[in-house]
Amino acid sequence: MESKPTAYYKTPIGTAKIIGDEDGIIAVTVLDNEIETSKNIPNCLKECIQQLDEYFKGTRTTFNLKLNPQGTSFQKKVWKELLNVPFGKTRTYLEQTKKIGDPKAIRAVASANGKNPIWIVIPCHRIIGTNGSLTGYAGGLWRKKWLLEHENGSKQQSLF
């Protein structure tokens, strides 16, 4: 497979590796090792980095990017439905299975969430256990907790 344009962007919770081309963003993953933000960002990735930067600064609540995740038709169906979970809100895995029309597919939906190639933009971090627990997250539960707190904190107004 030929290599696709790639860039690195430092976030408060790790370095994001962004891969894409003219057809859209293929992957946004988080790395555990620190890599400096790319100096020469390919044109096809600049908007993604800009929007991620705004998200982490608390000024962006939705993404408007051309996405091109690679996966099975079922995975793509699950990922597409994840895009409907609003900023600052959560859904359970059971609610997610009902949204895709297959309430018995909890494990398959959880597996598809775990294989989501476009971190944050396709917000699998907003899916929680039926009991409200922060279940599995490929980037680590501490990152899931951070992202949910970030989204909830930026919406609340202090009265004092």
Which of the residues are catalytic? 124
The CA distance from 138 to 65, in Å, is: 22
Q: What is the DSSP letter of 122?
A: S
Residue linked to tokens 């990017």: 65
Give the DSSP letter of residue 38.
P
Whole-angstrom distance, CA of residue 130 vs CA of residue 120: 21
Whether the Cβ atoms of residue 105 and residue 95 lie closer than 8 Å to each other: no
DSSP secondary structure of 7-19: EEEEETTEEEEEE
Identify which of 121, 111, 110 has the alpha carbon closest to the alpha carbon of residue 19: 121
42/46 Cα distance (integer angstroms): 7
